[in-house]
Amino acid sequence: MIIERSSYAGMGKFGSRWLGDNFAQPDYMGFSVTGIMGMNMAGIPLVGSDICGFIFNTTAELCARWYNVGAFYPFARNHNSWDTIAQEPWVWKGQIYENTISYYDIIENAMKTRMSLIKYYHTELTYLHLHGGSFFKPLFFEFPDSQPALDASQELNVMLGSALKLGILSNNLG
C-alpha cells in the first residue's frame, strides 16, 4: 500500500494519501473533514488524517470524538509524534464520559461501526478505482439539483459513496 504525504495529478489511481501532520486540537478534526473532501474532489479517494492528532497531547474526549469522525474516513489511523502522550484506545479505559461510559468504550463502538461498513467501503473504493469519482464528498455532489443539499453545512453532511449519507453531530459522543 502506498501512502503519500504529498500528491500530484493522477496519484489517486495508484496510491492513498494522509493529510500530513495535524494538531491534537478540535479545529483540526474539523479541517480533516473538508481536507478529505478536497482530496476526493481532486481524484484521490483513499485519504484520511491522523486520528486524535499528531502534534501536541490529545485528551480522552478529543480522541473519542475523532474516532467517531474517523470511523467514516476512507483511510483511518491513530498516529502521533514520539514526544507526545500515548493515545491508543486502551489508554482511556479508566476515564469516564459524563458518568456513563468510558472513552475506551466510545472508541470501541466507533471502531465496530467502521468494521461494520468495511465491505461497503471496499466495494465503493474498488468501483472508484475502475470508473473514477469520489467517495467522501459533499452532499450536493450526489444531489446537485436539490436546494436543501446545496444549503446544507457541507462539513456536517457528507456522502460516503453514492448510497450512504453521514450527518455529523457536533456535540454528541455517545
Confidence bin at 35 (pLDDT 50/70/90): very high
In a domain, 53, yes or no: yes
> Does the pLDDT at position 74 exceed 70?
yes
In a domain, 30, yes or no: yes
- Of 55 and 167, which is predicted with more confidence? 55
Q: Is the dihedral of CA 113, 140, 32, 42 positive or negative?
A: positive
In a domain, 139, yes or no: no
Q: What pLDDT does 154 receive?
A: 82
In the predicted model, what is the mean pLDDT of residues 76-83? 95
In the predicted model, what is the mean pLDDT of residues 34-60? 95
In the predicted model, what is the mean pLDDT of residues 61-88? 96
% of the chain residues with pLDDT over 70: 97
CATH number at residue 100: 3.20.20.80
Confidence bin at 171 (pLDDT 50/70/90): low
- Of 7 and 131, which is predicted with more confidence? 131
In the predicted model, what is the mean pLDDT of residues 143-160? 90
In a domain, 49, yes or no: yes
In a domain, 165, yes or no: no
Boundaries of domain holding 89: 3-133
Phi-psi label, residue 20: left if phi above 0, alpha if psi -120 to 50, beta otherwise? left
Q: What pLDDT does 172 receive?
A: 52
Domain count, the chain: 1
- pTM across the whole model: 0.91
In a domain, 152, yes or no: no
In a domain, 29, yes or no: yes
**Residue 35: CB atoms within 10 Å:** 20
Q: What pLDDT does 174 receive?
A: 46
In a domain, 7, yes or no: yes
Residue 109, amino acid: N
